[in-house]
Amino acid sequence: MCLNSPSYSIEITTTNSFYLLTIQWRDHNQCPTEDEYKNMVMDKTGGLFRLAVGLLQAFATCHSTIDFVPLVNHLGLFFQIRDDLINLADDEYFKSKSFCEDLTEGKFSFPVIHCIRTNEQGRGSRLQSILKQKTEDIDVKRYAQQLMRDSGSLQYTLDKCNSLYDEILVQITELGGNEKLKHLLETLKIQLDRS
């Protein structure tokens, strides 16, 4: 991929358009489907990863023709969904950032989408109302967190992360292995395991 190639320009344009999509969802309080969210992530976070890999391959002396796109897409999903879960469930994270910051931003993250879409016992409707408020009230955010916990959304998100983690490890092995990347994933997974 060269800097003036069409694929580079398309990747940049696509990545930026999906930032706008998340803003539209937030500002209009429109909850996307899980598939819409995953597509957005693959084009936003995955797009940034694809750009980095493409640039590395453009200047590589070996492995320049290997298709890393499936791996990079899964990495993008893993990193984003993991970040969504950590933001809403990890006590250590709250020490360095504000508590459940995504709720204050009104962000439709993976566990929020699951809770709203399943709407078990009206929990999703209540969560969507809270999200619309963009509240900074800790008690309201704790209640929202409990709604997601009670609906199984935090566990569902953890299960999705674990599934993606396993798929990524298989893909890394199939591509010839990369111990440093595996170590990075293991380090990121430790934080998930305590969520």
What digits encode the pLDDT tens for the residues 68-92? 888 989 999 999 999 999 999 987 7
Give pLDDT, residue 195: 66
Quickly list H helices, 134-178. Answer: 138-150, 153-174
Residue 110 structure tokens: 């993976």
Reported confidence tier of residue 2, pLDDT bands at 50, 70, 90 = very low
CATH 1.10.600.10 holds for 6-193 = yes
Q: Which two tokens stand for residue 150?
A: 């009670």
Give the tens place of pLDDT for each residue, 112-141.
999 999 988 899 999 999 999 999 999 999
d(CA 102, CA 170): 31
**What pLDDT, on the 0 to 100 scale, is given for residue 51?**
77
**What does the pLDDT look like over 6-39, one tens digit per residue?**
455 555 555 556 667 788 888 888 899 999 999 8
144 to 50, 114, 130, 136, 153: CA distances (angstroms): 34, 13, 7, 12, 11
58 and 1 Cβ atoms separated by less than 8 Å: yes
